[in-house]
Structure formats: structure tokens, C-alpha cells
Amino acid sequence: METKFDIIVIGSGPGGYASAIRCSQLGYKTAIVEKYKALGGTCTNVGCIPTKALLDSTEHYHTAETKFATHGINTGKLSLDFTQLIKRKSEVVEQNINGLNFLMKKNKIEVFEGIASFLNDKEISVKGTDGSSTTISSTYYIIATGSKPATIPGVEIDKKRIITSTEALSLPEKPKSMVIIGGGVIGVEMASIYARIGVEITIIEYFDSLIPTMDKDLGKELKKIFTKQNIKILLSHKVQSAKNNGKNTTVSFLDAANAPQEITADYCLVAVGRKPYTEGLGLENTGVELDSKGRIVTNEKLQTKVENIYAIGDVVAGAMLAHKAEEEGIFVAETINGQKPHINYKLIPGVVYTWPEVASVGYTEEELKEKNIEYRVGKFPFSASARARAAMEKDGFSKILSDPKYGELLGMHIIGPRAADLIAQGVIGMEYEVTDEDMFRISYAHPTYSETLKEAYMIASGQGAINI
Ligand code: FAD
């Protein structure tokens, strides 16, 4: 086995594996080190992929339960095989891992299984689960060790009753009830999965809105939709502790009037964010520095304080998203190669895979107000879309923010069917500095969900919509 490489990537999540592939494509002798037997990191194993598999399954169930009869489809009494639901999720994950194994072979990337730990700026040891240790060296390193779930004071995760998203993806049986601490992206996706199959869900959120970092209109609309789905939402509530009672858990919190309250449920899912992961990496043997939040400090080239060591993805500053990690992985490979790549961080889309989906790119209204940037708004409801009516998908809206002088797009915020795919239009438009008028003077297929954007551009530009 080779022990000397041009580039070693540590961590095989979306940042690490995409980076390793690009490094290899550019002609570098590349290795990747992964602590776990399965490649793919958080995203493939316990993040993006398994959540979407469960979201899809439970969405089918929910549609059958709530809409089939109206479509004239009679199924008889529906029942849910929870074990099969979880099994299919695991199979989807497996398929993705197999795909990554194939890609590593295809691109001639050497894979090391074990914990990578820096011995100095040029060498790392890889410790296997069998206790073996191999020393390998490289000219460059790309750290892509990702993140782990965080918690709050008073709430200790025991992985039994007080769990993280990882355990919530593989519960042994369908629970009756679940309290979710945190109404951010992971919290609301998990709420959707379980509420759709009849689990009593309570979300406790510290801020006054669900998905509080996104445009406020999205959180308001999502709250309305979730309430219709029987999800209980407690905003401006502060969790103080969670206790494992053996067969269930009790969560204590202060309500919006600061009065103490408690709820008992089968599980308490802690979804309060994630923290960068650098444990065991041996950074103390290098000059790599961390900031006050434990993130690896990098410059604009994603280079750490040590010239030959780069860092990408969840372990550095910025949005904790798979596609951001991937972009950074490719950016670093091309930077090492002497190219001048570019990432526009303002245009990394954020998506929430509830149903309807939520997607956002560019500035929010709140950000524009805070920065004193003038803007105009175009907002068009899905209830006025012929396609949405045909599909019984009338909740939500498409919202455009544009500059009042030239009409340049400043932000796009959608809550509605297929918002995750629609948002790509906003990313392209904003990257190439198009105006709202440019966007509505092109033809949109009828009937499509994308027509809601055309109408929103028309409203933003001051021309007025056709269908409302
Ligand atoms: P990771 O994917 O975390 O991978 C890091 C890898 O490094 C891990 O495999 C780890 O074992 C390995 N590692 C760590 N230390 C060492 C070491 N010393 N030696 C060797 N290996 C090491 N993002 C989206 O964009 N879309 C989504 O739909 C989405 N859904 C999510 C759902 C959930 C429930 C969660 C938890 C996250 C979700 N995310 C989603 C976020 C996404 O998973 C992360 O942003 C992404 O995985 C970060 O990629 P990364 O390459 O930085 O690190």
C-alpha cells in the first residue's frame, strides 16, 4: 500500500469525497481517510440521504391518507409497516455508499479506514479499529471532518430517550409522541417525518419563529401548514432540562410568559444545531488554529494557518450544508492546482424538505432592512396556480425581492411544492445579475409551479400579475 501522496483528504462526507475526486481528476495522487467503514459522512449515512428517504416514504403515506379519496382512489384501510420504512431507508443509504466505493475505485483514490491524527504538518497516523496504526504523508492536506450534534445546558443526550437526529432515523418502533427541541431545518424535517405517520409532535423553539434564520414570511407560513398537520408549535419557549424516565422523557421549559411547564413524551429529539468536529485530529501537533466556536480558521482560499493544510465543509465557518461543503472541496482542489475558482457564498441555496418544501437564496427581507437596502416585493400564492390546484398543492407562495432602481434580483424565497428544485432559477438569475423584468419576459411552460415565479417577478417589477 502507498504511504506517500500529493493530497490526503481527511473525512469522506460530501466535502471530502467531492474534493478527493476533483484532486484525482486534476492528476494528483490522492488518498482519503475515513473513520467509519462506510464512506459518505453525515450526509450519506445520517443526514441528507436517510432523511429524504424517510420524508419520501412518509409523504406517500400521508398523501394516501389525506388525498387519495378526493382523487377517487380507494385503498381500504391503510396500515404502516414501520420496520419496512426504516429498512428501505437503510437500503437507500447502502446504495449511495456503494456508489461512493465505485467512485473511489474509478478515480484511483486510495481509501484508508481509521482515525487520522496529525503527527506534524506533513504526516498523519491512521488508527484502525483493530488497534493498527499506519503513518502516511502528503504534500497537501484537506481537512473535511464535518460536525456532530450540539446540545444545550440541562439537556444531556443519552441516545436512548433523549436523542439526536441520528437515533431518530433508526428508532426500533413507531413512537406515540415526541418533543423536538429546536424548530430549525433538522427539527422541522423530523417533525414532518413523524407527524405524517401519526406521532404526536411538539416543537419547542427558543426564537419567535420556525426556521428562524430564513425569511420570516417562510416561518409564518410553515407554522400555519404545520398546525393543519396537527404539529404543536411552542415559539419563544426556553427548554431548561430533559430527563430520561426509562420508558419516556420529561422536558421542562419556560413558556413565553416565563412560567415553568413540562411535557412528557416517548422521546425528546434534540435538534439545536451542530458543532464542528476536530476531536482526535491531532491539530495540536500542527499550527492549525480554531476560532471561539471550535471551527478551523481559514483564509479566503480555505487555507489554514499552515500553508499546506486546507479545511472545508461543516468544520469551517459558513452554512452547514452538503452542497456548500462540496463546492468548497472542489474550490480547494482547483486552488492547489493554481486555478482561480470562485464561490458566491450569498448564493448557496437553503432548502427545507418539509411538504410543501421551503427554499431560499439571496437576501431575506430582514437582512435588506437591516442593511438599509431598498427593495420591492413580488409575492404570488400557489393557490392561484392552475398546476397547484390540479395537484391539490395550494399552500405557500413564491416571493421575489428586487432592487427598485434596476430590478436586479436580490432574494428568492419559496414555500410550496417542488420549491427545492424551483430555487435553482433564483441561483442562476442572481449569479448572472438578471432583473425581475428579464425573468418574466421569458416563456414558462403552462401549467407549471414555476409560473408562480413569473407572476412574482411581474408583481415585483410593478407590472402586476395576470392571475391574481
Ligand atoms: P461530514 O459529512 O460530517 O463528514 C465528515 C466525515 O469525516 C465523517 O464521515 C467522519 O467520520 C469523518 N471524520 C471525522 N474525523 C475524522 C478523523 N480524525 N479521521 C478520519 N475521518 C474523520 N445538508 C444539505 O445540504 N441538505 C440536506 O438535506 C441535509 N440534511 C441533513 C439532515 C440531517 C439529519 C443532518 C444531521 C444534516 C443534514 N445536512 C444536509 C447537513 C449535511 O449533512 C452536512 O452539511 C454535510 O454532511 C457536511 O459535509 P462535510 O463533508 O463537511 O462533513
Spatial separation of the C-alpha atoms in residues 251 and 186, rounded to whole Å: 19
The Cα-based distances of 50 to 32, 96, 189, 191 in angstroms read 23, 10, 11, 15
Same domain, 120 and 12: yes
Same domain, 444 and 404: yes
From first CA to last CA, the distance across the chain in angstroms is 67
Per DSSP, the three-state class of 452 is helix
Same domain, 193 and 241: yes
CATH code of the domain covering residue 325: 3.50.50.60
* Residue 77 alpha carbon to ligand 1 centre in Å: 39
User: In angstroms, how far apart are the furthest CA atoms of the chain?
Assistant: 69
Q: Is 149 in the pocket of ligand 1 (CB under 6 A)?
A: no
Residue pLDDT, tens place only, 35-65? 999 999 999 999 999 999 999 999 999 999 9
Q: Give residue 2's pLDDT.
A: 77
* Residue 47 alpha carbon to ligand 1 centre in Å: 7
The Cα-based distances of 119 to 255, 268, 287, 416 in angstroms read 50, 40, 12, 50
Spatial separation of the C-alpha atoms in residues 306 and 29, rounded to whole Å: 21
Same domain, 398 and 359: yes
Kindly state the cell numbers that stand for 175.
413512537
Residue pLDDT, tens place only, 321-357? 999 999 999 999 999 999 999 999 999 999 999 999 9
Q: Is 11 in the pocket of ligand 1 (CB under 6 A)?
A: yes
Assigned domain for 199 exists: yes
Contact (CB, 8 A) for 449 and 416: yes
Assigned domain for 342 exists: no
Same domain, 296 and 436: no
Spatial separation of the C-alpha atoms in residues 27 and 10, rounded to whole Å: 19
* Residue 276 alpha carbon to ligand 1 centre in Å: 10
Q: Give residue 346's pLDDT.
A: 96
Assigned domain for 157 exists: no
Q: Which of 39, 27, 13 is nearest to 102 (CA)?
A: 39
Does the predicted model carry a pTM greater than 0.90?
A: yes
Same domain, 304 and 361: no
Residue 446 catalytic? yes
Q: Which residues of the chain have pLDDT under 70?
A: none
Q: Is 35 in the pocket of ligand 1 (CB under 6 A)?
A: yes
Same domain, 69 and 181: no
Same domain, 8 and 132: yes
ipTM: 0.99
Same domain, 126 and 186: no
Q: Is 13 in the pocket of ligand 1 (CB under 6 A)?
A: yes
Q: Is 462 in the pocket of ligand 1 (CB under 6 A)?
A: no
Q: Whose CA is nearest to atom 11 of ligand 1?
A: 35
* Residue 205 alpha carbon to ligand 1 centre in Å: 24
Measured from the CA of 126, which atom of ligand 1 is nearest? Answer: 19
Measured from the CA of 312, which atom of ligand 1 is nearest? Answer: 52
Assigned domain for 111 exists: yes
Q: Whose CA is nearest to atom 29 of ligand 1?
A: 48
Same domain, 111 and 178: no
Task: Count the domains in the chain.
Answer: 3
Q: Give residue 129's pLDDT.
A: 87
Assigned domain for 404 exists: yes
- Residue 195: give the domain boundaries: 162-272
Radius of gyration of the chain (CA): 24
- Residue that terminates a domain, selected from 234, 256, 272: 272
Q: Which of 287, 316, 291, 304 is nearest to 16 (CA)?
A: 316
Indicate the helix (H) or strand (E) that contains 438.
Answer: helix 436-440
Same domain, 141 and 285: yes
